[in-house]
Chains A and B, each alone.
Chain A
Amino acid sequence: MIGLISYLTFFFTIALILAIAVLGLNLQWGFTGLFNGGVVAFFAAGAYGLIMLGGPARANEFGGFDLPYLIALAGGVLLSGVLALVVGLATTRLRHDYLAIATFGVAIAIESVARNAEYLTGGAKGLRGFERPLEAWVGQPQLYSFLFLCVVIVCLVGVYIALEKLVDSPFGRLLRAVRENERAAQSLGKSPAHIRLTAFVIGAMIMGLSGGLYATFYAFISPQDIAPILTFQIWAMLIVGGSGNNRGAILGTLVVWGGWVGSGWALTAFAPASMQLYAGSIQYILIGCIIVFTLLARPRGLLPERLTTTQYAESSVEKR
């Protein structure tokens, strides 16, 4: 019983941390139509940023400033935002798929920095020795895990409420206007590039928060944690749930993460020993199939966006 509870605590902690990143992606893709092909880069910036700022000093290496937790977390989030700004400035004015390529590239670049810049990131061995906030004060590990889950839930709810408010605000309507019809948004006197950049940076910072919580939970971050597959998993979560719907995003996270963990368990338990090596490949194929088939068969996901969009007048665009 205790085992089950502690497992469920673990499962939901990770799932809900990822759900925060999915919410960030939903702001970018679901509401603004921005393609982020490198979610993991912003997740990683938050995670590494936190540990570099809040972790203990390391010999001959940068970072380890031992800053108070919340400041370190905020620093990680800020780092994600700056990274998004650099990529966004180059691409939000251009062809929409350039953002996809540039973000995909930034994820690869961040991963190679994480692997190689030992001075900064500890290289392949990662950054260890982070002390989780209040852990000593709480004492009991299981209680701490449970309390941490509560903190994650609070963060998730906070981000959810903030995003719902944002989406219902005049700015949120602008986002959808940009997504549906750039020219219409332009004619309202707003710069679509600016609106897109803002949404992109905010979304990336939410991903940074998710990364920060993830690193806090494990008290450790290494290149293993920021493999490219994470981007695809987060994407699958969003479209399965229903992009443009924040509740759908959370539901999709639980479904896909459940499926991921479940399929991993099933493969370990039932697949013949000779196939164990390929368990990862099979899981990746599953994620790929989820993405392709959801797009083809149920493009609006489990909980579709509640649409109040105007029919966009393509005729006026076509005319000239």
Chain B
Amino acid sequence: MSSVARLDVSELTAGYVAGMPIISSIDVTVGVGEIVAVIGPNGAGKSTLLKAIAGLCHIESGAIHVDGTEVTGIRTDKLTRSGIAFVPQIENIFRSMTVEQNLILAGRRCDKQASSHVEKMLSLFPLLKKTYKKRAGELSGGQRQFLALAMALVAEPGLLLLDEPTAGLAPIAGQEVLSILREIANPGVGILLVEQNAKAALGLADRAYVLADGHNQHEGEARAMLSDPVLGEIYLGGRRRGDHAAKPV
């Protein structure tokens, strides 16, 4: 791992309303070319963590560094233009615009060679080629997720923040989305991935953090966590039970 991490979050406390933090004193790092998963039960603050890094939350204290530069409290659009790409869980594409328009809009953020970037994305996601002139709102769930990923990648970010990219997808489509992430990380992109499907995420990631109640609970090598029987019982199995109990009847 290089000396400067792609992402270094230290002691981050943040929420949606001032004085009401959802996450507190969170520490997370993502190295160059590293895939890091964040798992934990519903309401643990996983999405809030991503939104805070993306500049969409109220930050109470702590610091966020990207490639060694402090970016705490910087406006979302500036963060994006400085190479941080965030893919929200839902509503992550512009439904009223075509696939082409979505990609051009997303590519506009960096330079004027948008078209060559768009070409690159189409070769990475051949599926989008067929739907190029379609309205994004007409795409299937999997296609939408690929479009959202392509929109994030078109500006060649150094850090990719993904909020549950497989939520609501059929298992095969979800697997397809996850499998492409390694390809993305290889050239050095750091990926911070929030996933509900903890097993799939740990199978893919290099390292992982477990969040509960807005706090760091555990961190370690993803492989080791997958095979850790105690952790598996508490956070992976336990998480599922918690999920069922939390669902409204």
Do A and B interact directly, with beta carbons closer than 8 Å? yes
Measured CB to CB, the residues of A under 8 A from B are: 311, 313-315, 318-320
| B-side contacts of A319, CB under 8 Å | 43, 47
Q: How many angstroms from the CA of A311 to the CA of B18 in the assembled complex? A: 11
Q: How many angstroms from the CA of A311 to the CA of B43 in the assembled complex? A: 19
B22 within 8 A of A: yes
Instruction: Taking A314-B20, A315-B16, A320-B90 as given, write out 13 further A-B residue pairs in contact, using a Cβ cutoff of 8 Å, ordered by the A residue number.
Output: A311-B17, A311-B20, A313-B20, A314-B16, A314-B17, A315-B15, A315-B17, A315-B20, A315-B22, A315-B48, A318-B16, A319-B43, A319-B47
Measured CB to CB, the residues of B under 8 A from A are: 15-17, 20, 22, 43, 47-48, 90
Q: How many angstroms from the CA of A306 to the CA of B20 in the assembled complex? A: 22
Q: How many angstroms from the CA of A311 to the CA of B19 in the assembled complex? A: 10
| A-side contacts of B43, CB under 8 Å | 319
Q: How many angstroms from the CA of A311 to the CA of B17 in the assembled complex? A: 10
User: Chain B: which residue is nearest A313 at the CB level?
Assistant: B20
* 16 examples of A-B residue contacts, CB within 8 angstroms: A311-B17, A311-B20, A313-B20, A314-B16, A314-B17, A314-B20, A315-B15, A315-B16, A315-B17, A315-B20, A315-B22, A315-B48, A318-B16, A319-B43, A319-B47, A320-B90
Q: How many angstroms from the CA of A311 to the CA of B20 in the assembled complex? A: 9
Q: How many angstroms from the CA of A318 to the CA of B17 in the assembled complex? A: 10
Q: How many angstroms from the CA of A320 to the CA of B20 in the assembled complex? A: 18
| B-side contacts of A313, CB under 8 Å | 20
User: Chain A: which residue is nearest B22 at the CB level?
Assistant: A315
| A-side contacts of B47, CB under 8 Å | 319
User: Chain A: which residue is nearest B51 at the CB level?
Assistant: A318
User: Chain B: which residue is nearest A320 at the CB level?
Assistant: B90
Q: How many angstroms from the CA of A153 to the CA of B8 in the assembled complex? A: 67
User: Chain B: which residue is nearest A312 at the CB level?
Assistant: B17
Q: How many angstroms from the CA of A319 to the CA of B57 in the assembled complex? A: 12
Q: How many angstroms from the CA of A112 to the CA of B90 in the assembled complex? A: 47
CB distance from A236 to the nearest CB of B (A): 31
> Considering the complex of A and B, which 5 residue pairs feature the smallest CB-CB distances, nearest first?
A315-B16, A318-B16, A314-B16, A314-B17, A315-B22
Q: How many angstroms from the CA of A315 to the CA of B16 in the assembled complex? A: 6
Q: How many angstroms from the CA of A319 to the CA of B56 in the assembled complex? A: 13
| A-side contacts of B15, CB under 8 Å | 315
Q: How many angstroms from the CA of A320 to the CA of B90 in the assembled complex? A: 9
Q: How many angstroms from the CA of A320 to the CA of B47 in the assembled complex? A: 10
CB distance from B76 to the nearest CB of A (A): 15
Q: How many angstroms from the CA of A320 to the CA of B89 in the assembled complex? A: 9
| A-side contacts of B90, CB under 8 Å | 320
Q: How many angstroms from the CA of A258 to the CA of B48 in the assembled complex? A: 51
| B-side contacts of A314, CB under 8 Å | 16-17, 20
Most buried by B among A311, A313, A318, A320: A318
CB distance from B13 to the nearest CB of A (A): 14
User: Chain B: which residue is nearest A317 at the CB level?
Assistant: B16
CB distance from B43 to the nearest CB of A (A): 7
CB distance from A312 to the nearest CB of B (A): 8
Q: How many angstroms from the CA of A290 to the CA of B48 in the assembled complex? A: 41
| A-side contacts of B17, CB under 8 Å | 311, 314-315
CB distance from A317 to the nearest CB of B (A): 8
| A-side contacts of B20, CB under 8 Å | 311, 313-315
CB distance from A108 to the nearest CB of B (A): 33
Q: How many angstroms from the CA of A319 to the CA of B48 in the assembled complex? A: 8
CB distance from B162 to the nearest CB of A (A): 17
Q: How many angstroms from the CA of A132 to the CA of B16 in the assembled complex? A: 59
